[in-house]
Amino acid sequence: MTPVITEAQADRLARNVLLSRLQLKPKENVTIEAYPSALPWATGFVREARRRGAHALLHFEDENSYWSAVDEGRAGLLGAAAPHEMAALAETDVYIYFWGPENLARRWKLTDSQQDKATAFNDHWYEVARKEGVRGARMGIARVTPENARTFGVPYGTWLSEMYAASTRDLKPLVRDADRLRKVLEKGHSVRIRHSNGTDLEVALAGRPMREGLGRVTPVERKTRFGMMTSVPEAVVYVALDEDSAEGTFVANRPSRLGSSQREGGRWTMKDARLAKYTYTSGGKEFQEAFKDAGPGRDRPALLEIGLDADVRVSPLMEESERGAVSFGVGGNGGYGGKTKIPFLEWLTVAGAELSVDGRTITRSGKVV
């Protein structure tokens, strides 16, 4: 039986996001953008905003009409920064975006040209949002539909339960974890990652600021290009690595998903701070093509990421957030405080690994110690 989303659940989600994550104030303007499947959640945000004395505007996008525009060759209209929509954004204080269009399998089949046309508004949207001081959240629970569950091959009910729990959690324990990890990752030097699957990799920290992705908007994050819009749920901390130090092997036991492309069974060998060898059980051809076309620095250490979410186990697109999961990336890290300024960034994730900094154990067997 397909779970029914109740008003009480929607109101709790809205209350958590609007108050504890975005600090909604009375008389502020709230814009909620949603597609059909997310409407039960979106209306909860309308109700809760009004309960807090704020003004709510619901922006509805019809899924069928979206695909009609694509099929009829009008994807450019979807990507147009329409003046009246930008005017509404300029008057918005808090923006809630329920991801769409909903049908991920269909969206992934779009050509590069169609995707570029349909999302051409993106840069201008963020320019306006940053200029006007908008703060907001991208709601990952909108992706949880029976059709998408079949696409990913996961149980819909389990996926929904995990995402709801992660989206309504108390953030205080995550913030405490992040604060403790910040002291270690910003002051530490050598990192070692080990797992019984063959992972044994040594990398180095470079005294760079740790960043967080905890599903909240902070003053620090708002200074970054896209930091005014957080993702809910999300529970990771990450730091740009020393680009000149990496030795050993990293083996994934979780998939890496980049849009329509999914990599599984990744095994990387780092030698003299360069990606010297790589293999995949699936998705290797796509990685090879992207890697070949990338610029200088594509093979250099980029990022170290640690997951903090105890609720995430099967949720697709949330693999890096699983508590104790460790992700290692190569390529561009210029947007995260590093030196390699190229658009190429790839990563692998291993859950249940042991990570140590300067000999001190930080994560082990899915726990942050």
Q: Is the pLDDT of residue 2 over 80?
A: no
Closest listed residue to residue 136, CA positions, set 12, 29, 37, 60: 29
The percentage of the chain sitting over the pLDDT mark of 90, rounded to a whole number, equals 92
pTM of the model: 0.94
Domain containing residue 121: CATH number: 3.40.1830.10
- pLDDT value at position 348? 98
Choosing from 167, 191, 212, the residue where a domain stops is 167
Q: What percent of the chain has pLDDT over 70?
A: 99
Using alpha carbons, select from 37, 355, 29, 31 the residue that is nearest to residue 194. 355
Band of pLDDT at residue 1, cut at 50, 70 and 90:
low
Q: Are residues 223 and 348 in the same domain?
A: yes
Say if 310 falls within a structural domain: yes
> Do 18 and 160 share a domain, yes or no?
yes
What sign does the dihedral 22-26-31-37 (CA atoms) show?
positive
pLDDT mean over 263-282: 97
Whether residue 182 is found in the same domain as residue 245: yes
> Range of 198's domain?
172-368
Does the pLDDT of residue 259 top 80, yes or no? no
Decide if 137 contacts 21 (C-beta within 8 A): yes
Same domain, 242 and 325: yes
| Number of domains forming the structure of the chain | 2
Q: How far is CA 318 from CA 232, 235, 310, 349, in A?
A: 11, 9, 12, 11
Do 63 and 36 sit in the same domain of this protein?
Answer: yes
Domain final residue pick, 108, 132, 167:
167
87-109 mean pLDDT: 96
What is the reported pLDDT for 261?
79
**How high is the pLDDT of residue 157?**
96
Q: Do 273 and 313 sit in the same domain of this protein? A: yes
- The rounded mean pLDDT for the chain is 95
Mean pLDDT value across residues 80-87: 94
Q: What pLDDT was estimated at residue 227?
A: 87
Phi-psi category of residue 99: left, alpha or beta, with phi > 0 → left and psi -120 to 50 → alpha: beta
Q: Helical H runs in the chain? A: 7-15, 39-51, 63-71, 75-78, 83-90, 104-108, 112-118, 122-132, 146-152, 156-167, 172-187, 219-222, 284-293
Q: Are residues 186 and 155 in the same domain?
A: no
Q: How would you class 176 by CB atoms within 10 Å of its CB: exposed for 0-12, middle for 13-18, buried for 19 or more?
A: exposed
Q: Domain boundary residue among 135, 150, 167?
A: 167
pLDDT in tens, 18-38: 999 999 999 999 999 999 999
Whether residue 160 is found in the same domain as residue 181: no
